[in-house]
């Protein structure tokens, strides 16, 4: 039986896609990662986002991963499918297929590689929205994708009924307030960059789309729960403990770092597909040291020992 599901609230990890030694998709391991996150209390899953290596997968692989996620999660939390394609036509088709496969919502990115004009960006978003009845969260991440989902675009899309949310990953937290001041409650806003997540929650974000939750789900869930329950000192303490790792989400090698953290924590493999390579050299040593330090000082474990 499905639980009562509320979109866009709480913690939504951007789940990773797991690979075998030959870099084919390990579908069983991918399902285990997804199911384990739900067991650990997350409120929803982003499937095939940046951390899911969407653009490193073939079209049929994406559909297989999403189908497997629907099976693994079995209605326990909402599943949001990333739509990240090179053309509008491909994005339209994938959105249609995601709805048929059982996704609950879509996280929609600008078309990859090409940097559009505002009019082209609006046309892309509008075309995908018209192709599905699923609720849509737009993904704004100017540093990563060289495209700003600016206020003129959000204004132009106000009439599209199923564009309902924004994943806000601009590094300037003032953006949250500016969105709310301009659009009120027209768009639900989720914090999308790990190292301004708590700032986003204080400024009105309804939840957190997270990368490092894949390695430390318990602390991520505790952080947001503490904030929602007004235990701000506890939320801040967890956030400060977590921050050395949360900064990794803003780096270009975030996928490799997050998957390495998963591996250290016994939750997955660090294998990635080209053009990505696993971390090496001093960078790898640094990330391992940060993860091990966080693991040794996990608030949940310390609390359990004290209790």
The residues annotated as belonging to the active site are 139, 167
Provide the angle, in degrees to the nearest 10, between the axes of the packed helices 27-39 and 59-73: 40
Interatomic CA distance for residues 200 and 192, integer angstroms? 9
Spatial contact of 106 and 72, defined as CB atoms under 8 Å apart: no
Separation CA 57–CA 48 (nearest Å): 9
**In the numeric block, which tokens belong to residue 203?**
């400024």
Q: Cα dist. 4→44, 77, 306 in Å?
A: 12, 8, 34
170: left (phi over 0), alpha (psi -120 to 50) or beta: beta
In degrees to the nearest 10, what's the CA dihedral of 33, 37, 43, 46? -20
Asked whether 14 and 214 are in contact (CB, 8 A), the reply is yes
């Amino acid at each position: 039986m499905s639980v009562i599901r509320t979109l866009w609230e709480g913690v939504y990890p951007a789940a990773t896609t797991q690979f075998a030694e030959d870099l084919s998709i390990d579908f069983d391991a991918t399902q285990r990662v997804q199911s384990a996150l739900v067991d650990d209390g997350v409120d929803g899953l982003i499937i095939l986002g940046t951390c899911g290596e969407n653009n490193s997968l073939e079209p049929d692989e994406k559909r297989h991963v999403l189908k497997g996620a629907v099976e693994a999660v079995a209605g326990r939390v909402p599943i949001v499918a990333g739509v990240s394609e090179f053309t509008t036509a491909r994005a339209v088709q994938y959105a249609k297929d995601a709805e048929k496969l059982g996704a609950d919502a879509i996280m929609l990115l600008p078309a990859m590689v090409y940097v559009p004009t505002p009019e082209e960006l609006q046309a892309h978003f509008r075309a995908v929205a018209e192709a599905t009845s699923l609720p849509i969260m737009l993904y704004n991440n100017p540093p990563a994708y060289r495209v700003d989902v600016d206020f003129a675009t959000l204004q132009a899309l106000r009439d599209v009924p199923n564009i309902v949310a924004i994943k806000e990953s601009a590094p300037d937290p003032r953006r949250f307030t500016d969105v709310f001041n301009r659009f009120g409650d027209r768009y639900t806003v989720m914090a999308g960059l790990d190292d301004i997540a708590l700032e986003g929650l204080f400024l009105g974000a309804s939840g957190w789309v997270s990368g490092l939750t894949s390695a430390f789900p318990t602390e991520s869930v505790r952080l947001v729960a503490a904030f929602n329950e007004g235990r701000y000192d506890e939320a801040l303490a967890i956030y400060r403990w977590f921050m050395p790792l949360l900064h990794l989400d803003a780096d270009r090698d975030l996928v490799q770092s997050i998957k390495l953290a998963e591996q250290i924590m016994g939750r997955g493999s660090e294998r990635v597909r080209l053009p990505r390579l696993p971390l090496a050299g001093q960078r790898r040593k640094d990330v391992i040291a940060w993860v091990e330090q966080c693991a040794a000082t996990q608030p949940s474990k310390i609390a359990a020992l004290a209790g």
